[in-house]
Structure 1
Amino acid sequence: MSRVLALHLGLVALLLAMHFVLPAYHHGNLARVMVLACYAIGFNILFGYTGLLSLGHALFFAAGMYGMGLAITQLGAAPAPALLAGLIAGLVVAGITGALALRTVGVAFMIVTLMFAQAGYLTILYFGDITHGDEGFVIQPAQRVLWGLDLSDPSWRYLAAWALFSACLIASLALVRHPFGRTLTAIRENEERARLLGYDVALRKWVAVVISGGISALSGAAYGLLFGYAGASFASVQYSIFPLLWVLLGGAGTVLGPFIGTLFMFYLIDLTSGITTAYMLLAGVVLVLLTLFAPQGLVGEVRRRGWGWLP
């Protein structure tokens, strides 16, 4: 346990140290990656540890983003209550959609979550007078001052992203090492056996959806606040597919996988887009090769090839 904790705290310390040495471009990129990695962490709890593949997680991400953004722009809320509003919005949406979607299993669950997300996306477009539809809306720098800290400033924005990521990473580690997290893994491996052992599988799966949706919503709220924008594109199918790719690349069912996968894919697209306009083709080739030669993801392969103690 000590080396597991040391590894994760070491990553947290390294990311803090990077704040002082990175050039401006990569400094901003890493702040964005850390916030999006929190979204991937939320997705990983449901997919990687519970074994439920959701294709509608953009609904939770957008619920947090719009819950926060509308609280600021429409109600004049301060950033802290606005972040709380985004988190509550995500938890409520996750609780309701989870209760309905979990009435299905397998492919049906995937389709139902996808349809819920599409309904959320269309709702944002329908109420365009408030949400500004595809155009979205900007959250002004003056509205992004949290406890006296100007989050539009790159330095404070990075530190806020680091604090959020650190909290999500350590919370994720604590969850998967907790008996509840081990129960989720048991459900993933053999749901029927977990039920025969006396566990309330339905309740635990619903709680997993709520936790996953809450973390995803908090990530969406933080993304909107730190980068000053909320738009309907964040509720689209693309943003439901992204966390799946990040988790698969990094390693589903690993604590560090979501961050490694998000970082890898972010810079893969960034680098290939500087080479050609057909950058998605190059990125696709790399992703296919990784899928073929590292089917368990980057961290998953490291765990399989020698570091079996990685959670």
Structure 2
Amino acid sequence: MKALALHLALIGALLAVQVVLPPYHYTNVARVMVLAVYAMGYNIAFGYTGLLSLGHALFFAAGMYATGLAVHSAPALLALPLGMLAGAAMALAVGLLALRTAGVAFMIVTLMFAQAGYLTILYYGPVTGGDEGFVLAREARMLAGLDLSADGPRYLTALAIFGVALLANLALVRSGFGRVMVAMRENEERSRMLGYDPFRTKLIALTLSGLYSGTAGAAYALMFGYVGASFAAIQYSILPLLWVLLGGAGTVLGPFFGALLMFYLIDLSSSVTDASNLVVGVALLVLVLFAPKGILGTIRERGARWLP
């Protein structure tokens, strides 16, 4: 009950702060909430199931391109779920092959799939826009009567998607299947001896992770009006890993706080120096040395055991 109240309080706080946020931060926080959904998906695979992937940009891009291309001939209300399903379907297809490996081999195989997807986007430039991508028209970004090019509707839609994703994630990790995922992360062989199928469990977890990633990619395309190959590049597979590590792997709220902190760390440091990546690197180094389990992971370890 305490955990549910905390998560609802965060959603309520994000709803309340929209009244006082200046336009610049209005857009930024909306962007962070969408990217936090992406990080939640990565956390399902890595933080809870122990699957270290470097291919999640493929799932994010699948959702983004499926929705971005679909809105040319279908309303956004249909294009959004299409992008969600595209992310899940891509993760399922990759999982059926990649999960035959484990550890470093799994990481390399997922990276190869992601790079193949990135090169495919570049190759089919006449359809995908290639390296330049394409911009979505304002009319195509109308979702159930809401103009997602406007600050207010965009923020509230991002909050709605984030809120549903957050509460669904909380329900997942507290369910029986969520406990099985953690068991696979901690001791796969013992879980197998208890009768659980590691391949099936990991495949479901990776598919759910792809569903979250595809949702974030689809929402990003509609809310910010741009679809580009850069979102399928390797950095968009590394970023969710960093967000999760910073906020706390294996915690429900960790991805949001990790994405929020890193976004503003880059934003603020870039206003005073050209070496913003150095600032981020130092921050991550400090984290590894003094809070290796991330912000919320460390808080949970030092007293708040009830944090999911």
Sort the TM-score into its range (normalised by shorter chain).
Answer: over 0.9
Match of 1:91 in 2: 88
Match of 2:56 in 1: 57
Deviation of 1:94 (Å): 0.9
Match of 2:233 in 1: 236
Aligned residue among 179, 185, 194 for 2:191: 194
Which ranges in structure 2 are unaligned for 5 or more consecutive residues? none
- For 1:16 and 1:267, the matched residues in 2 are separated by 19
Match of 2:282 in 1: 285
- Give the 5 Å matches for 1:1-311: 2-73=1-72, 76-311=73-308
**Which stretch of structure 1 is more off in the superposition, 218-227 or 18-27?**
18-27
Q: What amino acid maps onto 1:129 in structure 2?
A: P
Q: What amino acid maps onto 2:300 in structure 1?
A: R
Q: What amino acid maps onto 1:161 in structure 2?
A: A
1:55-96 Cα offsets, whole Å, 9 max, x none, are 0000000000000001113xx110011112111211211111
Deviation of 1:34 (Å): 0.1
Q: What amino acid maps onto 2:227 in structure 1?
A: A
- For 1:198 and 1:237, the matched residues in 2 are separated by 36
TM-score of the two chains, using structure 2 as the length reference: 0.99
TM-score of the two chains, using structure 1 as the length reference: 0.98
Q: What amino acid maps onto 1:291 in structure 2?
A: V
Q: What amino acid maps onto 1:97 in structure 2?
A: V
- For 2:87 and 2:284, the matched residues in 1 are separated by 31
- For 2:7 and 2:160, the matched residues in 1 are separated by 14
> Percent identity between the aligned chains?
63
Q: SS state of the match for residue 134, structure 1?
A: coil
Aligned length: 308
- For 1:214 and 1:176, the matched residues in 2 are separated by 16
- For 1:211 and 1:14, the matched residues in 2 are separated by 27
Deviation of 1:107 (Å): 0.3
1:17-70 Cα offsets, whole Å, 9 max, x none, are 011111111111100000000000000000000001000000000000000001
Q: What amino acid maps onto 1:20 in structure 2?
A: V
Which ranges in structure 1 are unaligned for 5 or more consecutive residues? none
- For 1:105 and 1:275, the matched residues in 2 are separated by 43
Deviation of 1:281 (Å): 1.1
Q: What amino acid maps onto 2:42 in structure 1?
A: F
